[in-house]
């Protein structure tokens, strides 16, 4: 039976043993669609996160997707074009159940203004990364990546620990909402600025945030006290980062770490300019979006100028992947790209070995299934310090949102081994129901984004989008249950292409084969992508694990 959802009462959390479709392959995908809305930011508008990242194009399309999933057989494939189902094709039992492409616009036309025009006409929708592919699991989906960034900085700059250190950031939406908990788990005192008090309250209610300060003076006093006591603490401040960051700099305060995860990628439906309240912004989105774009870019110049000032004073400053540097440079901040991107700065050695954000969701809705898989992970990978540390921390600190789920940074071979072992647990009846396996689109072979994932690649291949397309084709050939190709919408239009995958572990031999092929080939392609670019870590991984990389 579905579980009541106090955050969005009209969108219950799926679960239970009953099937509404013809197999667990389609039931699992249906539950994942229901889940992204249950944990979404504005599910009544089908928006999951990032201002415009949607689960389906519109409500008639959503209804048709649901109906199609309940009707298709295992030798058929549902085709979805930008959140709208357009056909059911006869394929075969080893083919994907769902193939989708969201927001892919021809190169010269892939601009924000064209996206907004197509979106207003109802011809397209942006799937974000995991929103439109029904793989989002709430803020937990990015929390380990955020935590790992903080810990890599701790190793590099602060003798391995962030106790007594001050992190300044902004944005408490679907992605940024992970930051306060990640910072606290890393041992820091973290201040998170957001213009929307409802977001801050929600993050506190679900346990991702400790305190909401009434003003800047109080917030800084709380952070200072926590630093002095070397006490982990997360504090939210309601305000505009374009005003708060410069004011903190003006006071001569220099945080140890500075970043930002506001919706700077979208100057119409995301970022709120300084001096504008939320009601005014909502009106202007329909009446005068050009004013919002101009005002937003002006605010971002002040926002990023303060970040650069903190960097000049010695703070560790990085871009968290929201295009804020790009907007700032277009607004006249010449040295905006002196701020490094998080992937290149901290995580590329992991991605070069295809180690990235792998995730699994208990389709039964039973938290006990995740607890058993946690035990299995600790048993299978006792020497993997990143994974064992994370699982223990997550168990203690990370609440579930929607379907019980977990994420862990596993690499080539590890993902496949875990998923197949879980599939056997489903077969043996040790788990209450099947488990869905997926990953973030920001993965080794799955994304091209020259300002995020592939910035400053060793061989200069930053803007080449062949890799995510090859990824999707490989996943189709490997029999994954859902395969998606996404490109950017809003301010991300023209900046990225990515692929996504979901495979359902339903305890059958056929599922074991799908997991074996899809997950193994997915990470193998990740290793190949970085080996082809000349990364020594990837070449070493390919040699050690016999990945079929061809060297010329």
Residue 266 token pair: 């979208």
What is residue 176's DSSP assignment?
G
- pLDDT for 336 equals 97
Topology of 140-340 in CATH? Rossmann fold (3.40.50)
Q: Higher pLDDT residue, 265 or 183? A: 183
φ, ψ dihedrals at 450, nearest 5°? -65, -10
pLDDT at 50: 79
pLDDT digits (tens, 9 = 90+) for 406-446: 999 999 999 999 999 999 999 999 999 999 999 999 999 99
Q: What is the pLDDT of residue 174?
A: 78
pLDDT in tens, 9-26: 999 999 999 999 999 999
Res 51 pLDDT > 90: no
pLDDT of 2: 80
What span, in angstroms and rounded, lies between the C-alpha atoms of 219 and 224?
9
Name the nearest CA neighbour of 268 among 40, 493, 83: 493
* pLDDT at residue 210 is higher than 80: yes
Over residues 362-390, the pLDDT tens digits come to 999 999 999 999 999 999 999 999 999 99
Q: What is this structure's pTM?
A: 0.93
Among residues 271, 267, 253, the alpha carbon closest in space to that of 170 is found at: 271
Report residue 142's pLDDT band, with 50, 70 and 90 as the boundaries. Answer: confident
What percent of the chain shows pLDDT beyond 70?
100
Token pair, residue 1, equals 């039976």
**Tokens in use for 89?**
């094709």
User: 337-351 pLDDT, tens per residue?
Assistant: 999 999 999 999 999
- Predicted confidence (pLDDT) at residue 549 exceeds the cutoff of 90: no
Q: Find where tokens 């010269």 sit.
A: 108
pLDDT digits (tens, 9 = 90+) for 309-319: 999 999 999 99
On the question of pLDDT at 1 being above 80, the answer is no
Q: DSSP letter for 95, please.
A: S
Beta partners for residue 194, in sequence order: 238
pLDDT at 37: 98
User: What is the pLDDT, as a whole number, of residue 66?
Assistant: 98
Q: Which residue has the tokens 């990628």?
A: 265
Q: Spell out the alpha helix ranges (H) of 88-233.
A: 112-120, 140-157, 179-185, 197-205, 216-229
Three-state SS for 301-364 is HHHHHHHHHHHHCCCEECECCCCHHHHHHHCCCCCHHHCCEHHHHHHHHHHHCCCEEEEEEECC
Per-residue model confidence as pLDDT tens digits over 74-95: 999 999 999 999 999 999 999 9
pLDDT band at 335; cut points 50, 70, 90: very high
How far, in Å, CA of 115 to CA of 132, rounded?
Answer: 16
pLDDT score of 498: 98
Q: What is the mean pLDDT of residues 544-551?
A: 90
Topology annotation, domain 346-544: Urocanase fold (3.40.1770)
CA 534 to chain centre: 27
Helices (H), 186-313: 197-205, 216-229, 241-250, 278-287, 289-312
The average pLDDT across 177-183 equals: 94
Distance of CA 475 to the CA centre of its chain: 20
Instruction: Map out the domains of the chain as residue ranges.
Output: 27-120, 140-340, 346-544
- The residues, any chain, with a CB within 8 Å of residue 10's CB and separated by 6 or more, are 43, 44
Residue 218's Cβ-side half-sphere holds a number of Cα atoms within 13 Å equal to: 9
pLDDT in tens, 159-175: 999 999 999 999 998 77
Rounded to whole angstroms, what are the CA distances from 49 to 11, 80, 132, 209, 523?
15, 20, 10, 18, 26
Which pair of tokens denotes residue 54? 């949607």
To the nearest whole number, what is the mean pLDDT of the chain? 96
Residue 20 contacts residue 36 (beta carbons within 8 Å): no
pLDDT-derived band at 134 (thresholds 50, 70, 90) equals: very high
């Amino acid at each position: 039976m579905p579980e009541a959802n106090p955050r969005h009462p009209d969108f219950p959390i799926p679960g239970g043993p009953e099937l509404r479709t013809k197999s667990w392959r389609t039931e699992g995908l249906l539950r994942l669609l229901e889940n992204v809305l249950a944990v979404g930011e504005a599910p009544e508008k089908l928006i999951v996160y990032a201002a415009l990242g949607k689960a389906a194009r519109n409500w008639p399309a959503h209804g048709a997707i649901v109906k199609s999933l309940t009707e298709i057989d295992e030798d058929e494939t549902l085709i979805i074009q930008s959140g709208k189902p357009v056909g059911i094709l006869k394929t075969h039992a080893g083919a994907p159940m769902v193939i989708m492409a969201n927001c892919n616009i021809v190169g010269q036309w892939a601009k924000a203004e064209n996206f907004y025009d197509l979106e207003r006409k109802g011809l397209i929708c942006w799937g974000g990364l995991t929103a439109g592919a029904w793989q989002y699991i709430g803020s937990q989906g990015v929390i380990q990546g955020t935590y790992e960034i903080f810990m890599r900085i701790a190793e590099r700059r602060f003798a391995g620990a962030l106790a007594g250190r001050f992190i300044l950031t902004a944005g408490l939406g679907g992605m940024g909402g992970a930051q306060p908990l990640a910072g606290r788990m890393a041992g820091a005192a973290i201040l998170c600025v957001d213009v929307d008090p409802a977001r801050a309250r929600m993050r506190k209610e679900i346990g991702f945030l400790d305190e909401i300060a009434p003003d800047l003076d109080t917030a800084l006093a709380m952070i200072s006290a926590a630093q002095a006591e070397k006490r982990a603490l997360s504090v939210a401040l309601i305000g505009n980062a374009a005003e708060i960051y410069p004011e903190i700099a003006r006071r001569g305060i220099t945080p140890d770490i500075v970043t930002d995860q506001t919706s700077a990628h979208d100057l119409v439906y995301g970022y709120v300019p300084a001096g504008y309240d939320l009601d005014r912004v909502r009106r202007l989105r329909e009446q005068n979006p050009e004013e919002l774009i101009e005002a937003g870019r002006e605010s971002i110049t002040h926002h990023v100028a303060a970040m650069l000032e903190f960097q000049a004073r010695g703070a560790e400053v990085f871009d968290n992947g929201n295009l804020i540097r790009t907007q700032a440079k277009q607004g006249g901040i010449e040295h905006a790209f002196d701020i490094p991107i998080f992937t290149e700065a901290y995580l590329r050695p992991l991605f070069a070995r295809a180690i990235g954000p792998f995730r699994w969701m208990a389709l039964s809705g039973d938290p006990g299934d995740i607890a058993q898989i946690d035990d299995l992970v600790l048993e299978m990978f006792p020497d993997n310090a990143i994974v064992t540390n994370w699982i223990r921390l997550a168990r203690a600190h990370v609440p579930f949102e929607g379907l019980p789920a977990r994420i862990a940074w596993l690499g080539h071979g590890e993902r496949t081994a875990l998923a197949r072992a879980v599939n056997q647990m489903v077969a043996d009846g040790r788990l209450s129901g099947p488990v869905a396996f997926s990953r973030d689109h920001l993965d080794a072979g799955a994304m091209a984004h020259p300002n995020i994932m592939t910035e400053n690649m060793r061989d200069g291949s930053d803007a080449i989008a062949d890799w995510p397309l090859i990824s999707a084709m490989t996943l189709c050939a490997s029999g994954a249950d859902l395969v998606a190709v996404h490109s950017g919408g809003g301010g991300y239009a023209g900046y990225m292409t990515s692929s996504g995958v979901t495979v359902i572990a339903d305890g059958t031999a056929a599922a074991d084969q799908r997991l074996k092929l899809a997950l193994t080939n997915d990470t193998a392609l990740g290793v190949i992508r970085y080996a082809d670019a000349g990364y020594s870590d990837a070449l070493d991984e390919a040699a050690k694990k016999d990945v079929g990389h061809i060297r010329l």
